[in-house]
Structure 1
């Protein structure tokens, strides 16, 4: 299997070449185009109950689609995300990664999908009660609104809510005010993620919530 990310960074898409017998699993609705001989199998995302948790508490789709090549020739599949922005990939190699709602796009074989409890503070800040957790040995693709930055943290690091895309499970999140109550409200910063621990995080340069707040007054 060959996977190329094209049209980076604003309109990224994943061009997948499925060799005979290859398959790739993607979020429902991620397919842009494909060769007609590719087969599709739809199933619950990570199983029935984990799929329900991800759907109703994690902001993910209830189903995923597995695209397979049953022929004896290479076939092409194009996958993308619904938002405008960049797409990145990680080779897990036995590691685990947690995604914010809506970031996951697809994964190759050997990757397991699960859910991770995020806590009530995460829910109150609009980040969801559960996070999608991927683990195993394989390649996972995820997207963001805007550009994607990978950063290694070793102590406390503050991220505005809506800008954290993915993080390693060793990172602890603590949702709180950016400063004092009055200062947080008047500065417009509100809630922030105070991350602690050691590991990699992935940030997006724009926020969907910020876009909504900007556009809403102009529509009325």
Structure 2
């Protein structure tokens, strides 16, 4: 009797000679149609399975496509996708067949040629990866997060963000953030979802239309704009941080930031698409486009030009970062959008 053999493709984290990490991450993101920060996380956590449940021909094509952009990978045999017995020895998980990585066709990354099979946008997490297993769909415009919660574990979720959940998920509402969240018009409550009587699954839909990012904290700290928090592991401490009157008032943004620190998963969202920037030195970002930044970066609020530019250029205050770290920005600004919509508002004729 015959059985269908399934294969998987694993990114090893190694690059072909002459290929830089930055160019490989950019080419990988375009090939798999994922956000650059997602591609960066995959390389940081490699080896990592990026596609499984494939036939041998498709797995070979994906491996070749990865080789063309300078990324080394392995094709391995996974569990048989058909439960029917085989003529000789039944395949078992872990009986992987590793093949040598083919040599690069070009020393620099190039887009896949016409006819090459492009992998789907969904990335399959390897079982060895830390934290909750999750999937982000609908990005970058209307990202939707699905998290698998092990039995007995709890996930902290922003109020009103739960869209779907298993019946064994139990919700408790707790007050968090106090006066800081109240003054920023955010809900002072955060919901905690616990999987009882076995593992569960929850679907999370952020309020604003845009992208979602995931970071696994290992004792680090990330600061979020007041409306960016979506969900986190209970090992992550979420609290409000006073920016001070000068930074908060003159930036035109909230007087408070959300400080997330500790160990575990953290998800946050944007209005529009999301781009992660590596800052080493000084960098300027409009205050309305900041989503998050890592601890260690100093920032100050200044004018982008003189007072004439401030009032007539259409540009306002900017945030000047200095130091070394990461900044996440959103490709759209709520304030800019409301300003664009304002002339089209319906006006009642008083005559």
Deviation at 1:156, TM superposition (A): 1.7
The answer to whether structure 1 residue 109 and structure 2 residue 240 are counterparts is: no
**Retained in 2: the 8 A contact 1:59–1:128?**
no
The answer to whether structure 1 residue 89 and structure 2 residue 233 are counterparts is: no
Deviation at 1:126, TM superposition (A): 2.3
1-structure distance, mates of 2:330, 2:246? 21
1:142-181 maps to which residues of 2 (within 5 A)? 142-181=268-307
Unaligned runs of 5+ in 2: 1-131
Deviation at 1:59, TM superposition (A): 4.7
1-structure distance, mates of 2:247, 2:203? 33
Relative contact order (C-alpha < 8 Å, sep 6+): which is higher?
1
2-structure distance, mates of 1:34, 1:202? 29
Corresponding residue number in structure 2 for 1:211: 337
2:161 is aligned, of 27, 30, 37, to: 30
Do the aligned partners of residues 207 and 108 (structure 1) sit closer, same or farther apart at CA in structure 2, a change above 3 Å counting? Answer: same
SS at match of 1:127: coil
Deviation at 1:117, TM superposition (A): 2.3
Unaligned runs of 5+ in 1: none
2-structure distance, mates of 1:68, 1:172? 37
Corresponding residue number in structure 1 for 2:46: none
Corresponding residue number in structure 2 for 1:76: 201
2-structure distance, mates of 1:215, 1:63? 31
**Retained in 2: the 8 A contact 1:54–1:62?**
yes
Answer with 1 or 2: which has the greater Rg: 2
2:144 is aligned, of 13, 18, 38, to: 13
**Retained in 2: the 8 A contact 1:114–1:132?**
yes
Q: What do residues 92-139 of structure 1 show as CA deviations (whole Å, max 9, x unaligned)? A: 100000001100001012111122221223322222222110100001
Deviation at 1:197, TM superposition (A): 1.8
SS at match of 2:292: strand
The answer to whether structure 1 residue 60 and structure 2 residue 186 are counterparts is: yes
**Retained in 2: the 8 A contact 1:54–1:132?**
no
Q: Where in structure 1 do 4 or more consecutive aligned residues deviate above 3 Å?
A: none
Corresponding residue number in structure 2 for 1:137: 263
Do the aligned partners of residues 135 and 59 (structure 1) sit closer, same or farther apart at CA in structure 2, a change above 3 Å counting? Answer: farther
Do the aligned partners of residues 24 and 53 (structure 1) sit closer, same or farther apart at CA in structure 2, a change above 3 Å counting? Answer: same
Do the aligned partners of residues 59 and 99 (structure 1) sit closer, same or farther apart at CA in structure 2, a change above 3 Å counting? Answer: farther
Higher mean alpha-carbon deviation, 58-67 vs 133-142, is at 58-67
SS at match of 1:36: coil
Corresponding residue number in structure 2 for 1:121: 246
More strand by share: 1
Higher mean alpha-carbon deviation, 102-111 vs 31-40, is at 31-40
CA RMSD in angstroms, aligned pairs only: 1.4
Higher mean alpha-carbon deviation, 5-14 vs 108-117, is at 108-117
2-structure distance, mates of 1:195, 1:55? 28
